[in-house]
Amino acid sequence: MRALCQRVASASVDIGGETVAHMDGGLLVLLGVFRDDTKAQAERLATKTLALRVFADASKPMNRSVMDVGGSVLVVSQFTLAADTSRGNRPGFGYAAEPKRARALYEHYVRAIRERWPQVATGVFGADMQVSLVNDGPVTILLEG
């Protein structure tokens, strides 16, 4: 499982011209689920996501978590994070979880975050989404679990 975490000033998800999720300040998480991932991995990754210290305090530029700063988390499913680009120019997706399993683990990850932090929004699993963001820093960290 991979969570590409971006510190953002704002982020939103649109589907068919309609905004389905929006947040001001926090983490945009693009989540990729692999075929061998487990619920335990989703829970560990959720914990790591919320504990990730990428926000500034008075002494260090990256010393506080999203919870420390009262930020939001926007989680968007992104199966392309499971792409295999080791051969040729066309990515392969043989490592990605099949959709039913991926949805269940995505939802488990989201629930695990919501149990610890209420300020969570999501995209729509499997939808063709347009994700807009203002990357703050820019700061982008890849978490693997």
Partnered with residue 75 across adjacent β-strands are 29, 122
φ and ψ at residue 16, rounded to 5 degrees: 60, 35
Token pair of 122 as six digits: 């999501």
d(CA 52, CA 79): 22
d(CA 18, CA 87): 38
Active site residues: 78-80
Q: How many CA atoms lie within 13 A of 113 on its CB side?
A: 29
Q: Is residue 130 within 8 Å of residue 15, measured between CB atoms?
A: yes
